[in-house]
Structure 1
Amino acid sequence: MTDEPSPAERALYLAAVRSGGRLIPEDLTPADRPAVAALVARGLLTPTATGWTAANPRVRGDRLGHELRTRALGLLLHAERLPGVLGPLVHAYDAARHPGGAGPGDGSALGPGALGPGAVYPGPGSVGEAADARRRISELISECREEVLAAQPGPRPLEGLRMALPQDLSLLRRGCSMRTVYQPVTLSDPAVLSQIALRTECGAQVRVLAEPYERVLIFDRAVAVVPADADRGRAAFLTDPSTVAYLVAQFERDWARATPAGRHLDPPPPTTVRIGRLLARGLTQRAVATRLGLSERTVAAHISRLRDRYGAQTLFHLGWQLRGERHD
């Protein structure tokens, strides 16, 4: 199955949306069955007791986009490592072609300069263990002159934030900018929030994105640090300009879609939370009002507060934002 829905699947999904977001077996012909099965497999239709409900396509698109970007980043990391892996072979080849003399690979074939920007060698372009990675990141923060960009998914360790605070504040006080994207789960810990506030008071900017994204640190748009393996036990330091530019573009995309952290700091009332959970499950405003025994006007007021909180322009966008937060 390809990544994109077929024309028949698109037509059936649009028919479901026009029918209030629902399909029932009586609406279908035998020829529609393969398209229904494909839409369910893609996560665009959700089976219910009476038929199927149209799911938010943005959620599917975000997840698929995340998978593709992760795959692309893996290929970039492989490309970064390849010159270092082949370095000894290049050296042997050049030595064989130029025996006893200074050939193209002699003296520099194994040196950092010969491997090119972002290649694998000690320092930027290398893969190091956790302690080495932390030490190198600390050096990069000290050397930073313009900006730090950080995408930090998942919960943030409080102790790590406390240890990094003096260096982060020093960076901000010398005029560097710091922009960080967190997921909503980060803001559920008051102690972590206090650490974030200490940085924002000195000029750091923080936004929250209820979507999946990869961890990355970018220093002066020249060096990017990303996880080097699936368990995040090691870090890769990338300096190839095209690779760093790609990661900067991904960060800017996420930053533009994120909402200011201030909208997430004060917890909403319990009724608002319940309404948000029902919206995230795909219920309409009227269905939410019926389920909770509230008037539609009351539900609309709560939804308005939620839309302001998440920067959502439409109810559809709000449901997508809430669904992303619900799965963090």
Structure 2
Amino acid sequence: MTDEPGPAERALYLAAARGGGRLRPEDLGPADRSTVAALVARGLLTPTANGYTAANPRALGDRIGAELRIRAVRLLLHAERLPGTLRPLAHAYEALRGASGADGPGAVPSGPVASGPGTYEPLASGPLASGPVDTTDIRRRISELHTECKTELLAARPGHQPADRLQRTLARDLALLARGCSLRTLHQPATLDDPAALRQTALRTQQGARVRILAEPYERILVFDRTVAVIPAAADRSRAAIVTDPSTVAYLVAHFERDWARATPADRHLGAPHPTTVRIGRLLARGLTQRAVATRLGLSERTVAGHISRLRDRYGARTLFHLGWQLRGEHHG
């Protein structure tokens, strides 16, 4: 039996309601027997001496809701336990990957970059590559890094990004944003010249991603949680390297932040802002604080902060005061 009444059950219950909340045996046909039995099992009909009486559906809703919440808690607990269950397998996999020069089917090919244990992890090919190469290894490793990301992903993607490539990474980007991580991406103007790629970018920004456009050369890079970076390891980008050395990662983050500061917000390319963003902007222009805006609109402060962040990007505002000043000028100009 499913959680909710089916069409036949709904129809029969409504018929009982129209009949004053009662069903008499003479009102039922042979085909109704199984439907009546299901309604009784759900608690929507109560047998009486003269037939059946309709029961309050809210009780069923409360019971099913409680059961669903219990299921959800069990699933969450299972999700919490799963990484620990798989950890021994992950350790074995990582040990295999770190075994340089190993022979056999599980051997990991050595790459062009090597510097100290745990500092670089060379990969043979992947989405950083350009050209007809096998991208399986790097795609798998970057997918793992996306899954493990806890707070922030910084992405610099020079050159044209085709819509199909953006589509391939959409699900994991949206999953990352849904976990509460932040996502900042640098593109060059060529990407947003493609309407299909523009739509893909808009799908991310609607969920809280921030995108800027930099019309000058820069290097391709991914940085996860400011602790792990993925960079090209060959001039033709047919190889990549995973960098974990803290000083090197900090250097790469500093370069990203420098480029980000010079880039232009992409919102103007992505059409009108979300209606909620517009409402928040109007309230900020009237001088309300972030907390007051959240209270007025019945939103969480975290949600309001996300909309404010997109407004700051759109207007190039450095501070909330600067943003409010610009919005007041727009609304009163």
- TM-score of the superposition, structure 1-length normalised? 0.44
Q: Which structure has the larger Rg over C-alpha atoms?
A: 2
More RCO (CA 8 Å, sep 6+): 1
- TM-score of the superposition, structure 2-length normalised? 0.44
